[in-house]
Amino acid sequence: MATKIYLSSAAYTGTVAIPTPSGIWTASGSAVTNNCSFTKASSTITTVTSSTATNTGHYLLGQFISPPLGAQTISGLATGISGQLRGSISNTAAVASADINVRVFTSSGTQRGILFIQTSGDSAYTATITNRKTPVGPATLTAVTASVGDVLVFEIGSARNVSSANRTFSHSYGDNNANDLAIEETGTSALNPWVQFRQTLNWATSGNQTSIGRIRVTDTLTQTGIARLRITNTDTQAGLARLKNTSSFTQLSLSRLKNTTTNIQTGLTRLRISDSFSITGLSRVLFSNSRVIFQLLGRLPE
């Protein structure tokens, strides 16, 4: 399954050291450094314009940094990467097209490897901001092995191939539209730009939770590992700190307390177990549809 990356118009908010732009760029002073992600962030679609370009060369307009990767090898597939982005030039007396550079960096900002470089697109920009294949492709990747916490860095700009009077270049970034740019080079609508890997990428944040491993909290009460245990802001169960989370309802100290949405407790229909309700003299409480058994320490035999 492919992995699509959205190019946000929001400034980068991560903790990874921002890499120095690649040496392929003639100028990078007007470039933005933004987030990118495998999910849409609803950032407003915005046009970014370069400073004036006076010579032929490569002009960086945007640097995009991904969430942390999981450990994996990003394969050198022959059709490994594709993408769509809207771009334009202020006057077509100069010829310009899309550049893109994709690299992997460590969390400290050290380059791990280069996945892809394109220094000239196959369709020149016009004076109207228009959809372009960025990169042209699908294109071939160079394999890079990433470690946990590494990030993808996309650098996207424009190549000016013919000299003339001074010109500026523009690109469109953002992901708040319901639709993504199509794979074509004629559309002008403000849809979401993207870059897609043919490979399914693994992310360091996927499936990792602190303290509560593999609990899925939803309105439908569907949880992995804790069947039917509802965990919400209004149902804080801090007083059950020693419960063992299993699908068989095995708990320490309260060995047969069954948590269900029907809340059927014969005889004690409103028993609330929380920090404000301390059970000090009941070592075992059995709730069932047929009976309630209290076994008091030192008062009733086992």
Sequence ranges of the domains in the chain:
3-197, 209-302
Tell me, what's the pLDDT at 164?
A: 66
The CATH number corresponding to 3-197 among 2.60.120, 3.30.70, 2.40.128, 1.10.1660 equals 2.60.120
**Statement: residue 230 has pLDDT above 70:** no
pLDDT at 163: 67
CA-based max dimension of the chain = 98
pLDDT value of residue 143: 96
What is the Cα gyration radius of the chain?
A: 28
Q: What is the pLDDT of residue 161?
A: 74
Q: What is the mean pLDDT of residues 225-240?
A: 38
The model's pLDDT over 127-164, given as tens digits with 9 standing for 90+, comes to 999 999 999 888 999 999 999 999 999 999 998 876 66
State the Cα–Cα distance between residues 134 and 111, nearest whole angstrom.
22
Which two structure tokens, joined as six digits, stand for 78? 């022959």
The per-residue pLDDT for range 183-225, each reduced to its tens digit, is: 999 999 999 999 999 999 999 964 433 333 333 333 443 333 3
pTM of the model: 0.69
Q: What is the predicted pLDDT for the residue at 53?
A: 77
More confident call, 102 vs 237 = 102
What is the 8-class DSSP label of residue 262? T
Q: Residues 88-137: pLDDT tens digits?
A: 999 887 888 899 999 999 999 999 999 999 887 778 999 999 999 999 88
Average pLDDT, the chain: 75
Residue with tokens 């945007």: 62
List residues bridging with 99 in a β-sheet: 157
